[in-house]
Structure 1
């Protein structure tokens, strides 16, 4: 299998515009992410996919590979799908541009899902983290996922799922981490299929896969990571980097 990583990178971000070009201890956030992804040695190739000439030049001027998006896109999956449409590749791993602390073991687990799937029953795989704090469970910025007995996703929501009508039944809550591994065909299907009401309501792109009957294998990880969504997150990342 040919396995590549794609890092979708928008310059404008509603909560922290230009965050990917912020300095993280001597290098920009996006360059840190690109270099960390390359350093895993898990991929045949790594690309940053962007709508910004600033980000494109940042990566290519440091010897990296970047692709400029041709169209405007609503989400990272669309941006990646456009970029891989004409590439010879089997599996595409989406690494978030604002997560410079790339964690090798979790990415390796995602790739193993497809190596063990000889019958090609799995369309995509993604990560989830067990969460216990009530504030995080109720936070709409935290996307939750529920799974079946074989860890296939049943649904994603910004609401607490399941609803805790009974609190003594041993339910565990899982946060969805936006790191995906796709079969190329599933990714292109996503690109071509229109958004349906559940995705539009929740504003969670992976719901589209479920609405069209795709199978998403969830992989549990213990690593929360650091997502740089605010200036405060950036300061935390700087301390952690040291």
Structure 2
């Protein structure tokens, strides 16, 4: 399989504008993420795809590969779909630009699901990690996912799902980590399909795939990493960087 990694990198993040250009141990966050993806050696090519000349120049000047978006995009999947339209690729992996602690073992687990999928039942795969912190479970910035008994995604939400109506304890909760591996055809379908009400309500792009009947295989990982969504996250990342 020809596997490429695409790192969507939008400069104007709503919660932390310019976060991808913030310094992390002497290099911008986006460059740290790009280098982490390269270091896994899981991909034939790694690209940053961006709407920002600053980010583009940062990657290219460091010897990396970057693509400037032509159109305006609402989400990372749309940005990647435009960039890979004419590329020869079987699997495209969306690595989030704000995750410089990208973990090779977790990524390898996501890619492995396609190796045994002879009937091509799986349209895309993604990661989930167990959470038991009540504050995080109830935090709308943490996207939760519920799965069936084969670990196919049933739904994603910013609300705590499942809801413990009867006060049941020991209910498993999973946080969705926004790393996706797509079959190219699923990504091309995403680009042409309009947003529907559930995605619009939750602002979670994975829901569009479910609304149109795509099958998302979830892979459990215990590596939570540090996603840089806020200045406080950046300080945690700096403290954790070795």
Q: TM-score range by the shorter chain?
A: over 0.9
Q: Is residue 94 of structure 1 aligned with residue 81 of structure 2?
A: no
- Residues 1-242 of structure 1 aligned to structure 2 (within 5 Å): 1-168=1-168, 170-242=170-242
Give the distance between the partners of 2:123 and 2:215, measured in 1 at CA: 5
CA distance in 2, matches of 1:230, 1:19: 8
Separation of aligned partners in 2, 1:226 and 1:133: 16
In the alignment, the residues of structure 2 paired with residue 223 and residue 93 of structure 1 have an alpha-carbon distance, to the nearest angstrom, of 18
2-structure distance, mates of 1:22, 1:139: 25
State the 1:16 CA deviation: 1.2
Distance 1:178 1:232 in 2: 20
For residues 2 and 91 of structure 1, what CA distance do their matches in structure 2 show? 6
Moved more, 225-234 or 32-41: 225-234
How big is the shift at 1:17?
Answer: 1.1
Deviation at 1:170, TM superposition (A): 4.3
Q: How far 1:169 moved relative to its partner?
A: 6.3
Task: Please give the alpha-carbon distance, in whole angstroms, between the structure 1 residues aligned to 2:39 and 2:230.
Answer: 26
Question: For the residues of structure 1 that align with 2:4 and 2:189, how far apart are their CA atoms?
Answer: 18
Between the aligned partners of 1:169 and 1:34, the Cα distance in structure 2 is 40
Q: TM-score normalized by structure 2?
A: 0.98
Structure-1-length-normalised TM-score: 0.98
SS at the partner of 1:30?
helix
Residue deviations 1:1-48 (CA, integer Å, cap 9, x gap): 100000000011111111111111111110110011001000000000
CA drift of 1:78 comes to 0.2
Aligned length: 242
Structure 1 position 118, deviation (Å)? 1.0
Aligned counterparts of 2:217 and 2:169: Cα–Cα separation in 1: 24
Which portions of structure 1, spanning 4 or more consecutive aligned residues, are displaced by more than 2 angstroms? 166-171
